[in-house]
Amino acid sequence: MTAEERLLAIEEIKKLKARYFRYLDTKNWVALESVFAPDAAFDMRSGRGDMLDPDALLAGAVAIVSFIRASVEDVVTVHHGHMPEVDIRSDTMAEGIWAMEDVLRWPTTSTRPIQTLHGYGHYHETYELIGGGWRIKTLKLTRLRVLTE
Amino acid sequence: MTAEERLLAIEEIKKLKARYFRYLDTKNWVALESVFAPDAAFDMRSGRGDMLDPDALLAGAVAIVSFIRASVEDVVTVHHGHMPEVDIRSDTMAEGIWAMEDVLRWPTTSTRPIQTLHGYGHYHETYELIGGGWRIKTLKLTRLRVLTE
Amino acid sequence: MTAEERLLAIEEIKKLKARYFRYLDTKNWVALESVFAPDAAFDMRSGRGDMLDPDALLAGAVAIVSFIRASVEDVVTVHHGHMPEVDIRSDTMAEGIWAMEDVLRWPTTSTRPIQTLHGYGHYHETYELIGGGWRIKTLKLTRLRVLTE
């Protein structure tokens, strides 16, 4: 790639990740699936931070969105990404790291032991160019801190 | 526009929005007016989130800054933008979406029913190139969540 | 510089600042030193916000990292940057402003008078190109608000 093509790809990947967050928080599940490669993998086993959830190692865009939807469909969620470090590795592959913060509030009718989660961490990701558009290929969430109440 | 011109315009618009936030939180009202097109429109009727404020549909840079100034001149405010999705639509028009978080604390002498506001949402915006510089043309604020105390 | 070279430099400086935050919060002290020019200067005298700390005017990458390490080695920290305004001033010098938020929690065994700090402010920075890579040359932290408990 030329330098200009790399800059364009980096900007596209930043917008891709922005759509991931926006579709997630506005509960647009159909659109959310479109940001992932069909064979994407999401390791959010440390998502809640307090223990490793073995069920949260997900394979495929359909499974990822199904898991997210089941987890937060009735939850008011805010997810923000910060400080991207995107590197283009080839014409069709890229890597990225993002700082993140998430704030979740379960409905007051929930019988879950926790009602709110406020977390901080990083996404470690790869991206693939598929059919002219960048998609999220792999994601792994690591945590700096998680507060639950 | 060429690809390079689009990249330059996107970076300029990101810096424009950065100045909007910085001038707002540092209470630089004269500079704040300069980020808006003279005929800008700001729909922040859902700004407080708990009800629709019909007075918060503002027309013109002067009216926008007057409203903001009257609302928060004595309030410690923090406004952060995240995850821009900027699209250049023509040589002189562009669109953008930003995730946002705001934290407001009214002075302890205030007699308002609420003393703090902590909100999350999105800005939906358009931009216009005027005299060689990008300006905010329209803004609409939508909310994911607002906590008041 | 050409427009393309400026865009590349801006992206490099954004990634430089991302590494600063990531190395700081993941306590990678060796890597953290690499983001600073050897003769960097960091004015974080208003870092805690409640008083001016004269000891927090630091000269040199080694002294900066030593101070940061001594201050937060046992502290869970989250530092996020937002809304960069980066301007390339010459082939080897640049300036930048960033909004910031930081959340610190001292260990429960700490005997400090404060256990948590949650702050908001801006970084005012300069950057220098050294040996083909951008480094942070000067930083000054200003505060909008600091909450301590």
Rounded to a whole number of angstroms, the distance from the CA of C19 to the nearest CA of chain A is 8
Residue C80, chain A, CB below 8 Å: the answer is: yes
> Does the pLDDT at position C115 exceed 80?
yes
What are phi and psi for residue C114, nearest 5 degrees?
Answer: -110, 145
Q: Which of B76, B80, B103 sits opposite C83 (nearest CB)?
A: B80
User: What's the maximum distance between 2 C-alpha atoms anywhere in chain C?
Assistant: 54
Q: How confident is the model at residue B145 (pLDDT cuts 50, 70, 90)?
A: very high
More confident site: A49 or B100: B100
pLDDT in tens, A75-123: 999 999 999 999 999 999 999 999 999 999 999 888 888 899 999 999 9
- What's the gap in Å between the CA of B59 and the closest CA on chain C? 26
Tell me which chain B residues have a C-beta less than 8 angstroms from the C-beta of A76: 144-145
pLDDT exceeds 90 at position A40: yes
Task: Using alpha carbons, select from B19, B38, B47 the residue that is nearest to residue B104.
Answer: B47
pLDDT at residue B50 greater than cutoff 80:
no
Give yes or no for a contact between C98 and C79, defined as CB atoms under 8 angstroms apart.
no
Phi, psi dihedral angles at B7 (to 5 degrees): -60, -40
Whole-number pLDDT of residue A111: 85
pLDDT at B92 over 90: yes
| A52 part of contact set with chain C, CB < 8 Å | no
Query: What's the full length of chain B, in residues?
Result: 149
Confidence band, pLDDT 50/70/90 cuts, at residue B113:
confident
CA distance A127 to A131: 13
Q: Which residues does chain B have within 8 Å of residue C88's beta carbon, measured at their own beta carbons?
A: none
pLDDT value, residue A107: 92
Helices C3-25 and A3-25, axial angle in degrees (round to 10):
50
Mean pLDDT, to the nearest integer, of C36-47? 94
Cα C92 off chain centre by: 20
Residue boundaries of the structural domains of chain B: 3-148
Question: Domain B3-148 is in which class?
Answer: alpha beta
ipTM of the complex: 0.95
Q: In chain A, which residues have their Cβ closer than 8 Å to the Cβ of C14?
A: 83-84
Residue of B nearest to C145 (CA): B76
Which two tokens mark A11? 């900007």
CB contact under 8 A, A82 and C82: yes
| Average pLDDT rounded to a whole number, residues A16-38 | 98
Indicate the CATH number for domain A3-74+84-97+120-143.
Answer: 3.10.450.50
Q: What is the pTM (predicted TM-score) of this model?
A: 0.96
Residue of B nearest to A24 (CA): B144
